[in-house]
Amino acid sequence: MKITGKNSLSNFIEICLKLIFIIGIIIYITLPILLNIYIEIFNPVLNKIPALIILYLSGIPALIIVYKFIKIFNKLKNDTPFIEENVKSLKAISICSLIISIEYIIGMFFIISIFEIILIAVFIIIWLGAYILSELLRKAIEYKEENDLTI
């Protein structure tokens, strides 16, 4: 199976990401209702207001991350992965992941759960990974441009 171009894996992933983005927006809009249902069924002692604030604040960077991934996979579908726009998207993903990590670290003062600790660890890894990948991609673009000038 092809990785880039039309009818490729990147095209399929882009479609999945668009679906996730739409579902994310629906969840963001209906968050108070969904949180009430969660509290009633799973965790009746959960303090609703801090949980709602944390989820709303982390929802925006999470949606930005998905949107930036959609842009990256769109460029892969168009068979143009080595462009500066992808570097900027990876840096934005990195920053948003750091913001989410910080929000959940602050949220630990209000709500402590193993799920929150796992989320913090995952987003710290994404932060570092996306930042390193953005720098690697930037370097690859420089080498590609030098190579294009040589030929």
Q: What are the φ and ψ backbone dihedral angles of 127, each rounded to 5 degrees? A: -55, -55
pLDDT attached to residue 151: 60
Burial (CB count within 10 angstroms: exposed 0-12, middle 13-18, buried 19+), residue 63: middle
pLDDT in tens, 100-127: 999 999 998 888 788 889 999 999 999 9
What is the rounded distance in angstroms from the CA atom of residue 146 to the CA atom of residue 37? 57
Per the CB < 8 A criterion, the answer to whether 69 and 134 are in contact is no
What is the rounded distance in angstroms from the CA atom of residue 94 to the CA atom of residue 126? 7
What is the rounded distance in angstroms from the CA atom of residue 17 to the CA atom of residue 31? 20
pLDDT range class, residue 22, cuts 50, 70, 90 = very high
What is the rounded distance in angstroms from the CA atom of residue 121 to the CA atom of residue 130? 14
Burial (CB count within 10 angstroms: exposed 0-12, middle 13-18, buried 19+), residue 93: buried
**Choice between 24 and 115, residue whose per-residue pLDDT is larger:** 24
pLDDT attached to residue 46: 84
**What would the two tokens of residue 135 be?**
């720098």
pLDDT in tens, 43-69: 888 889 999 999 999 999 999 999 999
What is the rounded distance in angstroms from the CA atom of residue 8 to the CA atom of residue 1? 7
pLDDT in tens, 126-148: 999 999 999 999 999 999 888 88
pTM for the model? 0.91
Tokens 């890894």 locate to 125
* CA 92 from centroid of its chain's CA atoms: 9
